């Protein structure tokens, strides 16, 4: 049996069926004549705007919306395109308060092509906006949290310097950015002398204070673009892009002198001093790779320790002389 064909035009021409469709539609429906005066104002429209039909019918539809650039854009697009879909403009409630209205509209033309009016479908987007704003705020908070966690994962929380892995990664990135050709990169490894004695004598809280002070001294001695990190325990690393062996040696010597002359308060009456030993190397004068430069700097650091500490070793010749 062939299903009976539904004549939608006949349904729309039936006043009772049209009224049922208007009542069932969750969107507010407003139609106007050619001059923009309201000719139909559905029950859903009344629920959205709050105006009684008698307050709206035969008045210009603009009374339902707030004048502004959004309203002007709606008029312009209807004039140019004949239709709009989900244009968000400020609507006006009967009590004067505003809300976000999503409007889809189309120009109705008669058989001769002349404008006969406008039909509009309206939704209250207030709840949607609230959800969007809440999601936007949550996303902002999430982005801040991710950035904070990333920072915490990359930095030593005591000294606020990069941790070992992040410092090495940053140095590798600097080398890659230079194309690995012709770039000087100074490498300094620094280790506090007799740091265990500080912990044993004054406790780990004072030891932490000393480490934090060393981090501050290192940051003060660096330029923009230099990479400073805590290498582990009481050992620190500095990667200086553009610095040759002489430059990184001068840097390490400045840090050594600053720490040697610094008084780190423990109590109101007691302060401690610290010294540091350092080994330095540079790419390409000492090594062809970052790992090789680190190995050489590490060898020279331990040569400084063997030679009596509180010094900077910058060459193998210096290393052999100091070790002897």
One-character DSSP codes across 276-321: EEEEEEEETTT-SSHHHHHHHHHHHHHHHHHTTSS-EE-SHHHHHH
124 with 101: CB under 8 angstroms? yes
Region for 310 from its dihedrals, namely left if φ exceeds 0, alpha if ψ lies in -120 to 50, beta otherwise: left
Sign of torsion over alpha carbons 65, 70, 76, 82: negative
What Å distances lie between residue 2 and 5, 10, 136, CA to CA?
Answer: 9, 20, 52
- Give me the helices (H) in the chain, please: 8-13, 15-24, 43-49, 53-56, 69-81, 126-154, 164-177, 195-202, 204-221, 245-260, 290-306, 316-323
Structure tokens given for 180: 């690995």
Q: Is 234 a catalytic residue?
A: yes
Say which residues have a Cβ less than 8 Å from residue 193's Cβ, sequence separation at least 6: 274, 275, 276, 277, 305, 309, 310
Angle between helices 204-221 and 195-202 (to 10 degrees): 140
188 with 280: CB under 8 angstroms? yes
Q: Which of 80, 132, 181, 234 is catalytic?
A: 234
Return the DSSP state at 63. G
Cα–Cα distance, 239 to 281 (Å, whole number): 10
Cα–Cα distance, 67 to 57 (Å, whole number): 19
Active site residues: 234
């Amino acid at each position: 049996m062939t299903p009976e064909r539904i004549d939608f035009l006949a349904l729309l021409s039936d006043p009772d069926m049209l009224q049922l469709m208007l009542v069932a539609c969750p969107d507010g429906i407003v139609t106007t004549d050619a001059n923009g005066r309201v000719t139909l104002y559905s029950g859903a429209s009344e629920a959205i705007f709050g105006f009684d039909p008698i307050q709206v019918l035969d008045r210009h539809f603009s009374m339902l919306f707030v004048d502004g650039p959004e309203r002007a854009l709606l008029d312009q697009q209807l004039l140019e395109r004949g239709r709009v879909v989900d244009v968000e403009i400020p609507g006006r409630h009967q009590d004067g308060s505003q809300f976000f209205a999503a409007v889809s509209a189309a120009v109705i033309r008669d058989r001769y092509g002349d404008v006969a009016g406008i039909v509009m479908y309206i939704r209250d987007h207030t709840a949607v906006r609230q959800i969007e704003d809440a999601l936007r705020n949550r996303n902002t908070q999430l982005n801040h949290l991710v950035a904070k966690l990333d920072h915490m994962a990359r930095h030593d929380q005591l000294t606020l310097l990069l941790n070992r892995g992040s410092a090495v990664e940053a140095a590798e990135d600097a080398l890659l950015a230079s194309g690995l050709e012709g770039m000087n990169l100074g490498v300094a490894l620094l280790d506090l002398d007799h740091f265990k004695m500080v912990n044993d004598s004054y406790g780990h809280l004072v030891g932490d204070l000393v480490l934090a002070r060393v981090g501050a001294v290192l940051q003060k001695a660096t330029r923009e673009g230099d990479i400073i990190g805590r290498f582990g325990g009481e050992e620190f690393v500095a990667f200086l892009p553009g610095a040759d062996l002489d430059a990184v040696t001068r840097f390490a010597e400045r840090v050594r002198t600053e720490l040697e002359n610094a008084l780190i308060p423990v109590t109101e009456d007691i302060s401690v001093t610290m010294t540091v030993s350092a080994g330095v190397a540079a790419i390409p004068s000492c090594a062809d790779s970052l790992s090789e430069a680190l190995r050489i700097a590490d060898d020279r650091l331990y040569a400084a320790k063997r030679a009596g500490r509180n010094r900077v070793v910058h060459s193998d010749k210096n290393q052999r002389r100091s070790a002897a």
